[in-house]
Amino acid sequence: MLKQNFLFQTIQSIYVSEKSNQSKENNVLVLKVDKKATKKEIKISVEEMFKLKVRKVNLLNVKGKKKNKGKNIFFKKNWKKAYVFLNSNQNLDFLNNSA
């Protein structure tokens, strides 16, 4: 059994956008992950936390945006996005959990 700290440090949050909602229909889960996380670590974390079978993982480094606030210019932090492809019979649906 892996430590809970490892699982929660690897996966930071589920990334919600219009594109990620469309990809959910194709059994693709989009996650915001730690910048140092590898594909193997993400696969293990998803399988342990959500009890799903992962087919493959693609990673994408997202560059932080430039923001202006008055005369000041600052940059948002860089982060890493993971596209987790699930097996065809797997599904993760938070909204339709009716009791």
Domains of the chain: 8-86 (3.30.70.330)
Q: According to the model, what pLDDT value does residue 76 have?
A: 93
Burial bucket for residue 10 (CB in 10 Å: 0-12, 13-18, 19+)? buried
Measuring CA to CA, which residue among 78, 81, 90 is closest to residue 14? 81
pLDDT tens sequence across 59-83: 999 999 999 999 999 999 999 999 9
H-helix or E-strand spanning residue 79: strand 79-86
Mean model confidence pLDDT for the chain: 86
Rounded to two decimals, what is the model's pTM? Answer: 0.81
pLDDT tens sequence across 77-90: 999 999 999 998 87
